[in-house]
A and B are shown apart, each in its own frame.
Chain A
Amino acid sequence: MKLTVSGNGKEYAEGLTVSQLIVAENVETPEYVTVSVNDEFLKSGTFDKTVLKDGDSVEFLYFMGGGR
């Protein structure tokens, strides 16, 4: 199936969960990442139950604490 991950088109096998995608995409600090699928945020704790579908668009939003 085709996913859009952080704006890039990617091929993944059917049945992929968000947790599996996080591993496959080498997401930094995966415990603290916010994930949106098709512009809706996933509730934390649902990543392993959320199965992605063909055409889904996934974004990872990261904490960035620096500034001073």
Chain B
Amino acid sequence: MAFSNEQLERYSRHIILSEVGVKGQKKLLNAKVLIIGAGGLGAPAALYLAAAGVGTIGIADADEVDLSNLQRQVIHTTPDLGKAKVQSAKETMEAINPDVTVNTYRTFVDADNIMDLIEDYDFIIDGTDNFPAKFLINDACVLKGKPFSHAGIIRFKGQLMTYVPGAGPCYRCVFKEPPPPEAVPTCKQAGVIGAMGGVIGSLQAMEAIKYIVGKGDLLTGYLLTYDALKMEFRKIKLPKIKDCAVCGETPTILKPFDYEQAECDMK
């Protein structure tokens, strides 16, 4: 596949980077990334991946755009209110970059659909807002051997880690089980500064891009935490757990399952 003159110009700032170049840009154009959740984290991740020329981007979300979303979900605009989030996200991504094919999945991800959903993708971004979904994505990606970026945000804090099969610990190595419902505050209850999604979601896009072009060090075996009030980033080393229920030596979780926990209605 040869680049058109337009593509050479569009991606010139990438192509000039020795770590990306023509070869890396071709990898991006051939890559498939699935973003689960078109919200605070998923919106900035989707914008940067589309702009970067990731050739196929899947986006999964069951909700419609709500006024309270617009404080942070920068892929949606005021005229999009009431529209399916995946449709709104698709329109914005295609407007940014016609090179990108956007697949939309207007559904909540659950144990019945996740394995099929992630099947065709090279990298998955967890932009969900509740623990059952985060554990489900972890388990499915471990079981299917798919790399993914986990992230969470609340108030003025955020954190992320990257799982690569065979290369380091999974989310369940760090957090064995979801906390009981209501034990840990959600963004709806506790609030979240809008730009936090921008910081952490952009870092998730960065991890996906580095994974695709095969350059640099990923956050495998590390949790990167960000405290905006202290303006402090910390990279905490994560050991791999031999007896992890899903990625350990003798796993007990052999297929994905849903935790019975009310979904956080964080619109």
Contact = CB atoms under 8 A, between A and B. Distances in A.
A binds B: yes
Interface in B121-146: 126-131, 134
Given A61-B236, A67-B39, A68-B266, 10 more contacts: A36-B239, A65-B186, A65-B264, A66-B152, A66-B153, A67-B127, A67-B153, A68-B40, A68-B61, A68-B127
Given A65-B152, A67-B40, A32 B187 contact: no
A7 B130 CA distance: 28
A23 to B, nearest CB: 18
21 contacts: A7-B234, A29-B179, A29-B183, A29-B184, A31-B183, A40-B239, A41-B239, A63-B131, A64-B151, A64-B153, A65-B184, A65-B187, A65-B264, A66-B152, A66-B154, A66-B192, A67-B128, A67-B151, A68-B39, A68-B128, A68-B187
Contacts, number: 89
A29 B155 CA distance: 15
**Chain A interface size, under 10 / 10 to 19 / 20 to 34 / 35 or more:** 20 to 34
B157 A65 contact: no
Nearest to B197: A67
A46 interface: no
Contacts of A39: 237, 239
A41 B174 CA distance: 8
B129 A6 contact: no
A7 B214 CA distance: 30
A32 B152 contact: no
A68 B42 contact: yes
